[in-house]
């Protein structure tokens, strides 16, 4: 059984291919490529797998996305993330207003451009951009 266990490691396309190619094409480059690609997840220890799972890019993406696709269940922080991601340049500077005015998902869906300008103090351009993203959100099936 030990021989059959070694067989898939040598012959398997996922595990065997990368092991034989770095040895024949250049072994020194293989260690440098493994951590960024998270390939140790397959053949490495659970510690290496956890390191890949907790990479900053994955955490950053997850933290930016609202927890639920249904905006009516969003918290104020979910709305802040949505506004930042919708248009970081035009709307990013205004995200603190959503915290200050406690705009959660339900409130976000009720906002109109005149309210955004009057109560949040946004200029017409950013207000219209925000309304566009809110309308897209309303049209999406959640």
Helix (H) or strand (E) holding 10: helix 2-11
CB 49 within 8 A of CB 67: no
**Local confidence band at 68 (pLDDT 50, 70, 90 cut-offs):** confident
How many angstroms separate the CA atoms of 77 and 142, rounded? 19
Give the residue, 35 or 103, on which the prediction is more confident. Answer: 103
Which of 40-44, 49-53, 64-68, 127-131 holds the top average pLDDT? 127-131
Dihedral-angle region of residue 102 (phi above 0 means left; psi in -120 to 50 means alpha; beta otherwise): left
- The CATH architecture assigned to 65-139 reads Orthogonal Bundle (1.10)
pTM, two decimal places:
0.55
Give the residue, 31 or 57, on which the prediction is more confident. Answer: 31
Closest CA to 111 of 78, 92, 138, 85: 138
> Whole-angstrom distance between the N-terminal and C-terminal Cα of the chain?
50
How many angstroms separate the CA atoms of 19 and 30, rounded? 9
Q: So what's the pLDDT on residue 39? A: 42
Q: So what's the pLDDT on residue 63? A: 53
**Local confidence band at 23 (pLDDT 50, 70, 90 cut-offs):** very low
Give the CA distances from residue 79 to residues 11, 23, 30, 69, 137, in Å, rounded to whole numbers and listed in that order.
49, 50, 43, 12, 12
Q: So what's the pLDDT on residue 58? A: 40
pLDDT at 109 over 80: yes
Domain boundaries, the chain: 16-55, 65-139
Q: So what's the pLDDT on residue 141? A: 72
Average pLDDT over residues 28-36: 47
């Amino acid at each position: 059984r030990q021989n059959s266990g070694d067989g898939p490691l040598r012959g398997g396309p996922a595990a065997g291919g990368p092991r034989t190619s770095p040895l024949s094409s250049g072994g020194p480059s293989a260690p440098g490529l493994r951590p960024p690609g998270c390939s140790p997840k397959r053949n490495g220890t659970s510690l290496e797998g956890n390191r890949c799972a907790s990479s900053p890019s994955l955490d950053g993406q997850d933290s930016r996305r609202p927890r639920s696709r249904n905006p009516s269940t969003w918290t104020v922080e979910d709305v802040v993330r949505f506004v930042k991601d919708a248009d970081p340049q035009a709307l990013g500077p205004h995200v603190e207003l959503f915290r200050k005015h406690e705009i959660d998902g339900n409130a976000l869906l009720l906002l109109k451009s005149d309210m955004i300008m009057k109560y949040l103090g946004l200029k017409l351009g950013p207000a219209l951009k925000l309304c566009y993203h809110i309308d897209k959100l309303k049209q999406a099936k959640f």
